[in-house]
Amino acid sequence: MPVGTGRYGKRLLGAGIGALVLATTPALAQQPAPFTMSQAATAPAKVAEPTAAQLKLANELLTANGEAASFDALIPGIIEQAAASFVQANPDLIRDLRDVAKQLVPEYEKRRAEIIQILARTYAQQFSEAELTELLTFYRSPVGKKLVERRQQLLDDGLRGIQAWSAKFSKEMETRVRDEMKKRGFTI
């Protein structure tokens, strides 16, 4: 079974994304520094508000390219992480905390649409209506569907290849560092 597609893989993915979200929350909550005139020249250009047509196409694209489904584990992961955050202080409550997390998932699962809308808005701000239509046409084509269908396998195979390369490269670098240190009179 490909990584991220099984019950535990989705939990891991959701927990990982949830950890990322929770880890960045304090930074997001901080107040920005006051604006100064020197920043006026370097301020980023304001992104145009997307049209309703762009948002509609972006939503369709997220379904066609499989990205909408990639967030299925996010809400359960965040809920599980929130419940687990109380385990260290209350280890005897682990079973009850897990039960509460499972109980809360259906109640908050409907909020997944909010995640999709955030991503759709991002796409709609970055791509014109014509570009979104072109992307959608691609993902609805046989080769686009094949890409979506095989994306996880491609990522898994690529990751295995990169891990094998990395292990070989690491050994090569250890040998090289050892040789360079030997030239300096150190044996490691």
pLDDT confidence of 46, banded at 50, 70, 90?
confident
pLDDT confidence of 42, banded at 50, 70, 90?
low
Going by the DSSP 8-state scheme, the letter that residue 33 receives in this structure is: P
pTM score, whole prediction: 0.61
131 vs 88 pLDDT, higher one: 131
Question: 9-37: b or e for each residue (b if 16 or more CB lie within 10 Å)?
Answer: ebbebbbebbeeeeeeeeeeeeeeeeeee
Mean pLDDT of the chain: 83
Dihedral (Cα; 81, 100, 2, 168), 10-degree rounding:
30
Q: Where along the chain do its domains lie? A: 1-29+49-140, 143-188
Q: Given this model, what pLDDT does residue 19 score?
A: 41
Contact 152, 66 (CB under 8 A): no
Give 92-124 pLDDT, tens digit per residue.
999 999 999 999 999 999 899 999 999 999 999
Is the predicted pLDDT of residue 182 greater than 60, yes or no? yes
Mean pLDDT confidence for 162-174: 97
Mean pLDDT confidence for 35-44: 52
Q: Where are the alpha helices (DSSP H) in 110-141?
A: 112-126, 129-140
pLDDT confidence of 171, banded at 50, 70, 90?
very high
Mean pLDDT confidence for 46-60: 91
**Interatomic CA distance for residues 63 and 140, integer angstroms:** 10
Helix orientation angle between 112-126 and 52-64, rounded to the nearest 10 degrees = 110
